[in-house]
Amino acid sequence: MKPMRMRQIKGHVRRGVAAVETAVVLPFMMLLLFGIWEVGQLLNVTQMVSNSAREGARLAATGLYNASSILTQTPNQFSSNSGPLTFQVQSAVANYMQNSGLPMSGTGGAIITITVTNVTRGVTCTAQVTPNSSTGISQIVAVTQSGSAPSYDPCNDSTVQQYDVLQVSVAYPFSFARWSPSNLFFFLGANPTVYAKQTWLCMKDIPITVNTTIPGGPLP
């Protein structure tokens, strides 16, 4: 009976040790696992924000879309029933992010900012994004002026010329999309911001002047 009793005690001891080891190691394993997920989410958000900035830069490079509230296009060219649309480049960037599944709001008073800059002319227009109801055609977010207004539109103005350097910058608070509680992963910081910047050359059409005078007859 003694050998059997000792084997039973040893079995219980081994199971007790395994339970203790699991209790000690499990929190660290879960922290590591959540850290991997969080870093993966950060990379995913960074990619989507970068893609949205590239989409905005592509539109800005056409020279057909406004990046401010200064309307320089011919009347009603880009207008709805409620009037001309403004901040079209910033709205396209914000819509791209929302359509990609990124949350457009969060706690702490953080906001998304989108800046369009004509580097060649030194003109900048910054707008902030709020997830309000539709404010125009295909707009699912509200984009409003942030900071001082530019002297003219950075990408849609008669001053803007072909091959001007246009830059679209996006600042997205990662707290909107993070999965873990704040400050759980100190290496990301308390309120990290994902930044993306894309630079394109303006490909605005250059008007061509055609001589409508019919050439004279052949020389004698």
| Half-sphere CA count of 30, side-chain side, radius 13 A | 8
Q: Which of 9-23, 152-166, 197-211 has the lowest mean pLDDT?
A: 9-23
Confidence of residue 211 (pLDDT cuts 50, 70, 90): confident
What is the mean pLDDT of the segment spanning 19-33? Answer: 72
> pTM, whole model, 2 decimals?
0.76
Q: Between the CA of residue 87 and those of 42, 50, 163, 167, what are the distances in Å?
A: 28, 19, 21, 15
Percent of the chain topping pLDDT 90: 37
Residues 6+ apart with CB under 8 A from 124: 115, 116, 117, 118, 150, 154
Q: How many helices (H) and strands (E) does the chain have?
A: 2, 7
Highest mean pLDDT among 3-17, 86-100, 175-189: 86-100
pLDDT digits (tens, 9 = 90+) for 153-177: 999 998 999 999 999 999 999 888 8
Whole-number pLDDT of residue 184: 59
Whole-number pLDDT of residue 190: 65
What is the mean pLDDT of the segment spanning 142-162? Answer: 90
pLDDT digits (tens, 9 = 90+) for 56-109: 999 999 998 999 988 765 444 455 545 567 899 999 999 999 889 898 887 777
Average pLDDT over the chain, rounded to an integer: 80
Confidence of residue 15 (pLDDT cuts 50, 70, 90): low
Measured torsion, CA atoms of residues 92, 93, 96, 101, in degrees rounded to the nearest 10: -140
Q: Residue 197: beta bridge partners? A: 169
Whole-number pLDDT of residue 17: 65
Q: Between the CA of residue 147 and those of 35, 84, 119, 126, what are the distances in Å?
A: 36, 22, 18, 7
